[in-house]
Structure 1
Amino acid sequence: MEQDFPYAVYPSLDGRVVFITGGGSGIGESLVRHFCAQGSIVTFIDIAEDASRALVESIKSEGHRAPDFIPCDLRDIEALQAAIRATQEKHGAIRVLLNNAGNDDRHRTEDVTVAYWDDRMAVNQRHQFFAAQAVRPMMRDAGGGSIVNFGSITWMVGDADCPAYVTSKAAITGLTRALAREFGPERIRVNCMIPGWVMTERQMRLWLTPEGERQIAERQCLQDRVQPSDIARMALFLAADDSHMCTSQHFIVDGGWV
Structure 2
Amino acid sequence: MQDKVAIITGAGGALGRATALRLGADGFAIGALGRASADLAETAAQLEAEGFPVRMLEVDLRDSDAIEAAVAGTERDFGPVGALINNAAIYPSTPFLEIPLAEYDDVVTVNQRGYFYAAQVAARGMVARRSGAIVNVGSITWHGGWSNLASYVSTKGAAVALTRALARELGEHGIRVNAVSPGAFPTKAEEIQGDAAEYSAHVIEHQALKRRGSDAELAAVVSFLVGPDSSFVTGQTINVDGGWIME
TMscore range, shorter length? over 0.9
Structure 2 match to 1:4 = none
Pair 1:110 & 2:97 matched: yes
> Matched residues in 1 for 2:16 and 2:75: separation?
20
For 1:75 and 1:88, locate their aligned partners in 2 and report how far apart those are by CA, in whole Å.
21
Q: CA deviation at 1:204?
A: 5.0
Deviation at 1:28, TM superposition (A): 0.5
- For 1:28, the equivalent position in structure 2 comes to 16
Per-residue CA distance 1:102-142 (angstroms, 9 max, x = gap) = 02221111221211111010121111111111011211222
Q: In the aligned structure 2, how far is the partner of 1:37 from the partner of 1:60?
A: 12
Q: Percent identity?
A: 34
Q: How does 1:239-250 map to 2 (within 5 A)?
A: 239-250=226-237
**Partner residue of 1:159 out of 128, 146, 157:** 146
Note closer, same or farther for the CA distance 1:205–1:159 as it changes in structure 2 (3 Å cut). closer
Structure 1 unaligned regions, length at least 5? 1-11
| C-alpha distance in structure 2 between counterparts of 1:195 and 1:103, whole Å | 15
For structure 2, the 5+ residue unaligned runs are none
Deviations 1:54-87 (A, max 9, x none): 222222223x224110111111111112111221
Aligned length: 244
Give the structure-2-normalised TM-score.
Answer: 0.93
2:32 maps to: 44
1:171, distance to aligned residue in structure 2 (A):
0.9
Residue of structure 1 in register with 2:5 after alignment: 17
Rounded to whole Å, the distance in 2 between the matches of 1:18 and 1:140 is 16
CA distance in 2, matches of 1:206, 1:176: 27
Whether 1:231 and 2:218 are equivalent positions in the alignment is yes
Conserved 8 A contact 2:32-2:44 = no
Task: Give TM-score scaled by structure 1 length.
Answer: 0.90
> Equivalent residue for 1:91?
78
Q: How far apart, in 1, do the equivalents of 2:149 and 2:75 lie? A: 36
Q: SS state of the match for residue 132, structure 1? A: helix
Q: For the residues of structure 1 that align with 2:64 and 2:186, how far apart are their CA atoms?
A: 29
For 1:70, what is the secondary structure of its paired residue?
strand
Instruction: Tell me what 1:174 maps to.
Output: 161
Residue identity in the other structure for 1:193: V
